[in-house]
Every structure is written in C-alpha cells, then in structure tokens.
Structure 1
C-alpha cells in the first residue's frame, strides 16, 4: 500500500517495471539528479524474472538513507503489478495513486530512459505559467538514443497545435515525458476507475485531458534520453522502417481496432468530456459505417488532423479503405 501524503509541490513519479535490470539503475540515478527537490517514486514491478526487484529495493533503501541524513523530500514505494502488460501496469499505478490521495502532480517514467536534470522542473514551470488551474498536460521532445545512449537525434517535432482533433487520430504525448498538473491528475485518476481498456496509457491520457477541455503543452526542448533497444514496447517511430510498419498496421486494420478501443475508453469518461468534444467523438465513431462519399465529406467537416502531411494523407487513406 501507498501511504497518503498531503498535496504540495511534490511530484508523484509512476514507473512501470518489467525485466528492466539492464538499464534500470541509470534511470533511477537520473531521478536522484533532478533539480526539483521533492518527489515520490511509485514503482510497479509486473513480475520481473531478472534483478529488477532487488534493484528497486536497494534504491528505496538508498533514498530512505539520503532523506534521513539530509532531510531531502524524496521517497520510494515499490508495488507488485497486475501482470497484464505495460499499459495495464500504468493504469494500475494510476488507480493506486488515486486511492492513496498522492500529491497532485503526476509524472510518468519508463524504466530504461535517462532523465535530464530539469525533466521535472521544466514541466512544472511550463504548467505553472498558465493563467488558469484547469486540467493541463506537459510533454516534450526527447533525445532518441541507441542502447548505449549514443547516436542521439531529436524526436519528431510537433508543428501543429495540440488538441482533441489531433488526439483522436494521433498520439503526440510521449508517455515518458508526461507531467500532469493537479487538476489533470484528478481527472485521470477518477476516469481510470471506469475505463474498460486502452491501447496505450499515454494516448488515452492525451485524449482525455484534451477532450475535457484541458491544455496540452508540448515543449520543443528535449527532457530525457529515450533509449532504443530490441525490447522497446513501442519505440520512437521516427525512422523510415518504423513509419513503414505503421502504414502496414493501418492497411491491415490495426488503426480501426485502436479507434474502437479509444472510443469505448472515452465514452466511459462520461461528462468529463466537454459537450462539443462528446459530439465530435460520436461523429468520429460513426465514420466507418458511412458510405464512402459521405464518410470523406464528414471527415473533412470534422477537422481531424495529424502532425505531418504524410501522416494526414495516411488518415485519409484509412478513411478511404474503411480502416478508421
């Protein structure tokens, strides 16, 4: 169990772990190097068969000792995950955070990245600079890196505005960079108790926050090293071959299946979505059942878009082939 803690400027960091021993220690040490002084790491190990549980236990001892010696406002809680895969593990973490009334700021963390020292402080500054206290999500670009953290390149830019019309058909919120303000954390932790299934947790969170009328801030500056290796669950999707893989997924109907799951998840949020966005969701859900001319006409009227011209063309191809 996670002990309740008063809200404040502390950030709850949710980390899903599974057989991450090769890279986990570097990521944990990058948390200790954060220039934001108050955080609570909550990990959920999903049945690792390597040394991950021992590494997490040792890190919890290390953090406890540092906090006792220096008064640092840092702590660690290690949980046992549900054993149902990465996305369900993150949903489990969100449910546990909601039940324990943890601090309002929530960040997601992968087990194999390395955070830059301002990963948290940069996101906090961006969200605090807003003029209202409604739901808001921060995310950023990353340094896409090889398994040894070399060969770095910037992740894809996001030149078009964020928002629900983008979120319905594309995820631009890389989960390992997400930070939720207290209002967004409350929105997500409340909705997660009702959600039947998600494609990936970060896409669902982007859709939910934007659909509820919240602001999504995408930072053009990278905040972490995004390690690429043979067992990435998703990967950066910024190479020719990864894009070709996405086209194949579209043609065989994966995009259509994802959309059905996303629509069901968003419907479960009920009145959390704004009335215009609930109407947009229902219009989007009806698209595949329309005759081709009307389907293309409605898609144009809905104003859905992706971040690049080629991916927007792929959206129209999906509509043409009834793969939405």
Structure 2
C-alpha cells in the first residue's frame, strides 16, 4: 500500500508595503522540499507594488495550490496575523507563519512539520540567520537558541518571548486553540501571544536550534534581533522603561479574558502576578516572581527584571 500523502500545511503570510523583497520570499516557498502547501495572504493596505506581485504569483501557481489574498484589519502586525489565523474560512490544517522580508531555507517546512505531529497542541519555532538587505549574514538568533534556554514555561512567557513568529508552525490542535482564544486587543506581538497561550494551556512548545531562514535586519523589524551586547543592552533599557511593563499588563489582561483555556496552575500563576503589589511593596512582588517561577531565560535578564520590579517599572 502506498504511503499516504504528507499533511497539507497552510502558509499564513502577512504583508504591508513589502514589494522590495517580496519575490525572494515567494520564490523560497516554491523551493521547499515539503511541497504540500497552500498560501493565505493578509495584506494590510499596501500602497506599493505588493498586491500586484501577490496577484501575479497567485495567477502563476494558483492552479495547483489554494492561494488566497485577503484584506487585513489595518491595526498593526499582531492583529493582521491573528485575524488571518482566526478568519472563518482559513483552512483547518497545520500552518506556518511567514514574514515578508525573509527568505526560507529549503527544508524549513519539512523540519517544522516533522516536529508538530500528534494530537496535543504544539507550537514550533527555530533560529534564523540575520542578514542585511543583500542577505549577507551578520549573525544568528542566538538569544533564543535551545542551548541558552533555561526553561520553556508559562512563567517565562509572562515576561519574555522565545519563539520567533517568522519561524513558527502550529499543528491543527494549536490552531484550533488560537481560534478559540480569538484576536486579543492591544497586545504588542502575535508571537509572544502564541507562546503565552500555548504554555498557559499546557501545550507542547518546541524550539529548535536549527537555522531555517534568512532574516533581513532593518529598523522596521528590529524587535526580532537577539544577538550581541548591543541587543542585550537595548533589551535592558526596554525593561527599565514604561513600555515593557505596559506590554506585560496588556498580555495579562488578554489572558484573563480567555482564562478558561488555561491550566489551573497557569491560572494561579496569572492571578498571583495580577495581585502582586507593584508600588510600595516591591519585595512582595519579587517574592511572587520567585515562588511562581516567573523569570527570564538567563541570570542577566532575570537580574534586570528584578531591578525593574524594585524600581516599580513592571
């Protein structure tokens, strides 16, 4: 008996004025060793040549694949991705998230699909080669590499994201979980939300040390940078500012609205963080962080977090 065909996977691709590098990314889809894919694109109001390039690609390859182009909500990147995944007609298949400036390595889909098997919800992420515009390498995403990971947990997810969205795949059960949670309001990043939701719901999260794509580094996507002393200092400065604390507050508020999806342990941790006094009782708040395992991935990051708590920043 011949082997069954490999599972269909839907690429969830979000665009906005990405014409400059768009054809490189589309070509890298066609070069995948895992060929059983479809493509859904949510364009968030591009005013350059993005839509024309997408329609030309759909016309050339839509006879063998389901290629859809829809209008995004025009509420930012996070809302664009999550509204695409929650679109009522989005296929109930495993899905792979994709950014417009990247170029996938040929085995990206194959490696990811091999990891997200089973009926338990699973989120997969991997590493990227950081490049400049012409794809000349300037490093890799070592900040989230498994060898550097202390733990993948809900406690970590409350204060840090370690799963890069552009490398992510979700199995069908994980996609169903995302759709049940819906599109949260006012969150900073869709990939951080996925990490929070999956760890909070007791799902399996896999972070591979393999590099699976080229990631063009520029000012518009600098949130994805991980490497080097400069990146570490920028993250530290962000924690000391007011923005980081606001992100955590937005994330916890979004989680509370879907807390029925969380495990009892995750709900207890969320409640403890929400109720921990922020002002005039920083030592009590630090005690909550320690008791519930709320920490960043390394000692330096956790020390910065604790100092920010002592200063009332988060």
Fold match by TM threshold 0.5: yes
| Mapping 1:89-238, distance limit 5 Å | 89-96=80-87, 99-100=88-89, 102-128=91-117, 132-156=118-142, 157-158=145-146, 159-193=149-183, 195-232=184-221, 234-238=223-227
Give the distance between the partners of 1:162 and 1:296, measured in 2 at CA.
20
State the SS of the aligned residue for 2:180.
helix
State the SS of the aligned residue for 1:43.
strand
Q: Which residue number corresponds to residue 68 of structure 2? A: 77
Q: Which residue number corresponds to residue 71 of structure 1? A: none
C-alpha deviation, 1:135, in angstroms: 0.9
Q: 1:233 to 1:75 in 2, by over 3 A?
A: farther
C-alpha deviation, 1:288, in angstroms: 4.1
Give the distance between the partners of 1:238 and 1:17, measured in 2 at CA.
25
Q: Which residue number corresponds to residue 231 of structure 2? A: 242
User: Are the counterparts in 1 of residues 101 and 216 from structure 2 also a CA contact under 8 Å?
Assistant: yes
Q: Which residue number corresponds to residue 311 of structure 1? A: 301
Q: Which residue number corresponds to residue 12 of structure 2? A: 14
Give the distance between the partners of 2:116 and 2:108, measured in 1 at CA.
13
C-alpha deviation, 1:101, in angstroms: 5.1
Q: Which residue number corresponds to residue 54 of structure 1? A: 52
What's the CA shift string for 1:76-121, capped at 9, x where partnerless? 100111222111111221221xx11513201110000000111111
What do you get for the CA RMSD once the two structures are aligned?
1.6
- TM-score, normalisation: structure 1: 0.89
C-alpha deviation, 1:278, in angstroms: 0.6
C-alpha deviation, 1:242, in angstroms: 3.0
* Number of residue-to-residue matches in the alignment: 304
State the SS of the aligned residue for 2:160.
coil
Q: 1:152 to 1:248 in 2, by over 3 A?
A: closer
Give the distance between the partners of 1:23 and 1:286, measured in 2 at CA.
46
Structure 1 stretches lacking a partner, 5+ long: 1-7, 68-73
Give the distance between the partners of 1:293 and 1:278, measured in 2 at CA.
22
| Mapping 1:234-313, distance limit 5 Å | 234-289=223-278, 291-313=281-303
- TM-score, normalisation: structure 2: 0.92
User: Are the counterparts in 2 of residues 82 and 88 from structure 1 also a CA contact under 8 Å?
Assistant: yes
Give the distance between the partners of 2:30 and 2:61, measured in 1 at CA.
8
Give the distance between the partners of 2:151 and 2:93, measured in 1 at CA.
26
